[in-house]
């Protein structure tokens, strides 16, 4: 194995995206987890998620379970993303492989901390749509902003959903 050539490293830098989000909720881990794993219900509270469904009959968040989602953010394009659960530890951790309009992996870690329940979501992907790949060096900032806006809408919607579900 030789070293990567500088041109390849430069291109890879422009094609790869690494996102990490931290959400804090004033709710117990079990309630956060129980809402988070209902992927089919995400469009009810996540503005910008056009649909989310499972293409198999496996139980929620079981290893091997396959989900399909389609996202539309403020910028005028959609992404269809398929996720296959690789590993899941109840009330703590999920990892999934992603394919479709982007490819890569994502993880979700949930744990209690002094402020409440912390969710840390990591996404390591690259574009798989030819026009996005070609224009990534020019539009990377816009793609990042679109992602950040979608995540902000997700946090807002999920927080409201939790508040409704945990209200006495």
Asked whether 49 and 32 are in contact (CB, 8 A), the reply is no
The string of pLDDT tens digits covering residues 32-87 is 999 999 999 999 999 999 999 998 988 888 899 999 999 998 888 899 999 999 99
Helix (H, G, I), strand (E, B) or coil at 38: coil
Q: What is the mean pLDDT of residues 7-26?
A: 83
Distance from C-alpha of 57 to C-alpha of 61, rounded to nearest angstrom:
11
Distance from C-alpha of 33 to C-alpha of 109, rounded to nearest angstrom:
10
Q: Which residues pair with 121 in a beta bridge?
A: 21, 108
The string of pLDDT tens digits covering residues 139-157 is 999 999 999 999 999 999 9
Give the residue carrying structure tokens 């910008």.
Answer: 48
In this model, does residue 15 exceed pLDDT 90? no
Edge to edge, the sheet with strand 102-113 lists 16-25, 116-127, 102-113, 93-100, 78-89, 66-72, 49-54
Task: Please give the pLDDT value at position 137.
Answer: 86
- Give, for 86, the enclosing helix (H) or strand (E): strand 78-89
Give the residue carrying structure tokens 């994502």.
Answer: 106
* Domains in the chain, CATH or no CATH each: 18-166 (3.30.530.20)
The string of pLDDT tens digits covering residues 91-141 is 999 999 999 999 999 999 999 999 899 999 999 999 999 999 899 889 999
């Amino acid at each position: 194995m030789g070293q990567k050539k500088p041109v390849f490293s430069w291109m890879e830098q422009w094609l790869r995206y690494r996102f990490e989000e931290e959400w804090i909720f004033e709710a117990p881990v079990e309630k956060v987890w129980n809402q988070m794993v209902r992927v089919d219900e995400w469009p009810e509270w996540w503005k910008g998620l056009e649909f989310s469904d499972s293409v198999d009959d496996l139980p929620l968040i079981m290893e091997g379970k396959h989900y399909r989602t389609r996202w539309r953010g403020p910028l005028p394009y959609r992404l269809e993303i398929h996720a296959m659960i690789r590993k899941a530890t109840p009330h703590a951790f999920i990892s999934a492989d992603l394919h479709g309009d982007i490819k890569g992996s994502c993880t979700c870690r949930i744990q209690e901390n002094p402020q409440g329940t912390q969710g840390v979501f990591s996404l390591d992907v690259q574009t798989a749509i030819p026009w996005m790949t070609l224009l990534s060096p020019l539009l990377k900032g816009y793609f990042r902003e679109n992602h950040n806006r979608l995540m902000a809408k997700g946090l807002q919607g999920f927080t409201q959903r939790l508040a409704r579900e945990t209200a006495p």
